[in-house]
Chains A and B, each alone.
Chain A
Amino acid sequence: MSLPPPAARPRRAPLALRVAAHEDLGGGLRWLTLAAPDVAAAAEPGQFAHVRCGGGLGPDGALGTRRAYSLADADPDRGTVSLLYRVWGRGSVWLSQRRPGEVLDVLAPLGTPFRLDPHRTPVFVAGGTGVAPFIFLARRARQKGLRPLAFVGARTAAELAGGEFLAAAGAEVAVATDDGTAGFAGTVVDLVVRALEETAAAGGLAGPSPALYACGPHAMMAALAAACAAHGWPLQVSLETPMACGIGICLSCTVPGPRGPGFYRRCCVEGPVFDAREVAWE
């Protein structure tokens, strides 16, 4: 067996992507659409884009490391991908000022996507901007003939993000707020566990048994992982850890798993989506 000469291999490169649309959704949220036909065709739900942002103090004004954003949607027909993000730090403030026509330096798609179980009802559990990957995943689930349920949580009604996008993508959406200003008064984990338990008590879901997919604050996902373990529900989580390179060389974003070989896995390559059982939650 002989390998082709290295120079003949196709190589990846950061892409120059034009901003096609950029919407202010209110509440500090933005919806950014990039013209990216190749990314739109290749991307899978759960993958992310690594965006070079300005606003830094480096020699060229760029931040020293890229910023990772979940792919919130991909439209292969229009050749676009979209990001849903919250404006809060240097990178996202700079990003929020980009106008249609401007070109961004983006590495995408990166990371390991969700593995959608075709035999179970998809149940999405999102906290804050954790809804982003589920818009894309809801669309993909509907394409595969599945009927996804989405549970979205926030501290208060004003911070509930992206529910309308989830509904538009074909998910049935229920919301929870800690202060009860919208939907269920309590945590989204309490809401989803109660809903699934009640459904089970009433004779099970109308369709197949549930498979859960979650993205949100660590405490939310740790609580959900415990509940899923107790009920025997499969759970995939999309994690966010401080990331530098996004391609697996810096080992910044590692996630601890069960002790043993490969104890730490890279959130950017082996993740961001992990089976909840492969993550040490403590």
Chain B
Amino acid sequence: MSDLTTRLGPLTLRNPVLLASGTAGFGRELAEYLDLAGLGGIIVKGTSPSPWYGNPGPRTVETPSGLINSIGLENPGLRHFLEEDLPWLRTQGATVIVNVVGRTVEEYAAVAEGLAGADGVAALELNISCPNVKAGGIQFGHDPRLAAEVTRAVKAACGRPLFVKLSPNAPDVPAVAEAVLEAGADGLSLINTYLALAIDVARLRPVLPSVFGGLSGPAIKPLALRWVWEAHARFRVPIIGMGGIREWSDAAEFLLAGAQAVAVGTASFTEPRTAAFVVEGLRKWLDERGFATVGEVVGLAHRAIDGEEAVPLGQS
């Protein structure tokens, strides 16, 4: 029986499958369909110091193999999270990673500070990549200097393991990655959504009032994998991989590309049990292929092309 435990630097998860931020709320709804304690954990909805309303609708539009969203980081705020959501998540036995958002460095730091004293927060995911809010989010994700500044402030305010979620829309993604790692990030979350557009032909205008939104779903899986591959090759740091994961083999691709964990997002919208199915599929795959630990497959696909050694085939 393979050991599904996975280590991401200072963070250890019972298995590599997480619920992605912004697609799982604070866990209550999905707990009707799956056992949160059976997952690696939940990355909760982006949490700001005070409640955010989010954007006017329509907020999503379906596209071939994808979904464009412009939710605008609607969330009930840090206090609600600490008083209502976190205690409940702990009763469920869930491993909790908090996605942190803000409009300014000070706001990001305020959330981190509020989380520093809270029991049951396993790690922070710094959101500097939401394409749907004007202030905060994306401006930090596009500029390596600002990204480093906010990373440093959050790390100083809360010493928990810190993963920075990067935007694929940044002009120079590797430069942002390098900057946040130098500033103290323990790892990377790769990736957030791709800026995208859908136009309503009947109404002769963009479907979303915000014009652009972020594309998620199977359409971006190959794009996300490329970033995981590059980050693993270049930095060898802990990576949470995400983008279009629907089944165990998608997750396996991310592990083989260099991620120690993955997050299931948009797929939960159609099949709320997806993350649980991915856990079981990965378990079966590792068993059948004779891998004793998750660590054995992380980045394994690089070996084949690096020529270090042949990839073990069919050991079952």
Contact = CB atoms under 8 A, between A and B. Distances in A.
B308 interface: no
Contacts of B269: 64-66, 244-245, 249-250
Nearest to B28: A248
A20 B249 CA distance: 35
A256 B37 CA distance: 34
Contact of B62 (A65, A107, A253, A264): A65
Contacts of B59: 242, 251-254
B261 to A, nearest CB: 20
Interface stretch (B64-72, B142-150, B165-173, B231-239): B64-72
Chief secondary structure at chain B's binding surface = loop
Nearest to A14: B271
A258 to B, nearest CB: 12
Interface stretch (B48-56, B107-115, B153-161): B48-56
Contacts, number: 113
A143 B34 CA distance: 37
Given A56-B64, A57-B64, A254-B74, A11 B32 contact: yes
Chief secondary structure at chain A's binding surface = loop
Interface string B274-301: 0000000000000000000000000000
A247 B272 contact: yes
B92 interface: yes
Interface string B11-34: 000000000000111000111111
Interface size grouping (class) on chain A: 35 or more
Nearest to A268: B29
B69 A252 contact: yes
B137 to A, nearest CB: 16
Contact of A59 (B31, B36, B63, B246): B246
A14 B269 CA distance: 12
A233 interface: no
B266 interface: yes
A250 B69 contact: yes
Contacts of A3: 91
A88 to B, nearest CB: 11
Q: Which of A7, A249, A263 has the most chain B CB within a 10 Å cutoff?
A: A249
B35 A7 contact: yes
Interface in B77-122: 91-93
A244 to B, nearest CB: 5
Contact of A11 (B34, B62, B266): B34
B64 A52 contact: no
Contacts of A256: 56
B268 interface: yes
A181 interface: no
Given A66-B270, A249-B268, A263 B53 contact: yes
Interface string A233-266: 0000000011011011111111010000101100
Contacts of B218: 58-59, 64
A252 B56 CA distance: 10
B206 interface: no
A63 interface: yes
Contact of B57 (A12, A64, A254): A254
A12 B23 CA distance: 18
A26 interface: no
B263 to A, nearest CB: 14
Interface in A65-109: 65-66, 107
Contacts of A269: 29
A6 B95 CA distance: 13
B60 interface: yes
A244 B68 CA distance: 11
A64 B35 contact: no
Given A14-B272, A250-B69, 14 more contacts: A6-B31, A6-B35, A13-B273, A64-B62, A64-B218, A241-B58, A242-B57, A242-B59, A245-B269, A249-B23, A250-B71, A251-B71, A252-B59, A252-B71
Interface of B: 23-25, 29-38, 51, 53-54, 56-67, 69, 71, 74, 91-93, 217-218, 246, 266, 268-273
Give the 7 A-B residue pairs with the shortest CB-CB distance, closest first: A57-B64, A245-B269, A252-B60, A248-B29, A242-B58, A244-B269, A249-B25
14 contacts: A6-B31, A6-B92, A11-B33, A11-B34, A14-B272, A59-B65, A64-B269, A64-B270, A65-B67, A252-B71, A254-B54, A254-B74, A261-B51, A264-B74
